[in-house]
């Protein structure tokens, strides 16, 4: 857990950019974390593409997904996914909702996710499916009502990942870094699984192998090595987030001033 709120905000911005840089998130999807000092609150960005998120974009919410202060910016409509999971699971410290292209063949066909290589064990053996239509009928497929988020949280149950039929995946973690690790490696596993199915019958890890391999995350340096590696890849891409909330806000103000100056020139 980061040592201060400012460090937590930076790490959450970093997490959003990492998951985007690794090909899991695009313009859509989001990563949140439980507030490091107030377990009855969580932090989530304003409505923005994850690859662009900085510390200044992050909003503090209560577990009913209401902002603690009016942010004055658009918010994610599916934030109840996060709030209802934090409400249901006190052990969850971070949540990622995504629409990974690697998962879509599984989600469209109702095919179980199974680990086909050791790092894929972090997603679990056959995590549960949730079909919004079963309980709510025809919808616009977005999880926007508290009762929809609560239904998804019930489907997640004690697991760390839930597959959303014809929609996406929601991943939880006991820490932000673990959530990112589970998100990226389950995405890779889904890609390998679908490609292997095109070649022939797959032989997944056994339940025992899945359990023991998943435990490596907390018992080896794998998690810290992966985090360091993903930060290096993000740095090479030139897309590390700004170092502070103040810098992000300052950049937005500078852009607004520049727009105003251009507008004045045109009027002149």
* Active site positions, annotated: 78
User: 161 near 170, Cβ under 8 Å?
Assistant: yes
Order of strands across the sheet that contains 41-45:
58-62, 41-45, 30-34, 94-98, 168-173, 161-164, 129-130
For residue 197, how many C-alpha atoms fall within 13 Å in the half-sphere facing its CB? 15
Residues 6+ apart with CB under 8 A from 204: 114, 115, 116, 125, 193
| Angle, helices 146-156/80-88, rounded to nearest 10 degrees | 50
């Amino acid at each position: 857990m980061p040592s201060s709120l400012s460090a937590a905000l930076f790490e959450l911005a970093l997490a959003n950019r990492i998951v985007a840089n690794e090909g899991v998130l695009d313009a859509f999807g989001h990563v949140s974390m439980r507030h490091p000092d107030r377990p009855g609150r969580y932090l989530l960005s304003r409505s923005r593409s994850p690859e662009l998120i900085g510390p200044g974009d992050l909003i503090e919410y209560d577990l009913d997904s209401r902002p603690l202060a009016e942010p004055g910016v658009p918010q994610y409509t599916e934030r109840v996914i996060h709030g209802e999971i934090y409400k249901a699971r006190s052990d969850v410290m971070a949540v990622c909702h995504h629409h990974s292209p690697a998962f879509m063949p599984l989600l469209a066909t109702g095919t179980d996710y199974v680990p086909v290589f050791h790092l894929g064990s972090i997603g679990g053996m056959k995590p549960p499916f949730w079909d919004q239509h079963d309980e709510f009928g025809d919808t616009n497929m977005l999880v926007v009502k508290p009762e929809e988020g609560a239904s998804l949280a019930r489907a997640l149950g004690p697991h760390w990942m839930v597959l959303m039929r014809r929609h996406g995946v929601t991943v939880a973690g006991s820490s932000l870094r673990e959530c990112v690790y589970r998100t990226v490696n389950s995405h890779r596993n889904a890609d390998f699984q679908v490609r292997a199915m095109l070649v022939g019958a797959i032989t997944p890890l056994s339940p025992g192998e899945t359990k023991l391999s998943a435990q490596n995350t907390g018992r080896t340096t794998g998690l810290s090595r992966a985090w360091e590696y993903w930060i290096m890849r993000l740095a090479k891409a030139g897309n590390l987030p700004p170092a502070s909330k103040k810098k992000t806000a300052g950049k937005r103000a500078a852009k607004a001033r520049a727009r105003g100056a251009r507008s004045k020139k045109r009027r002149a």
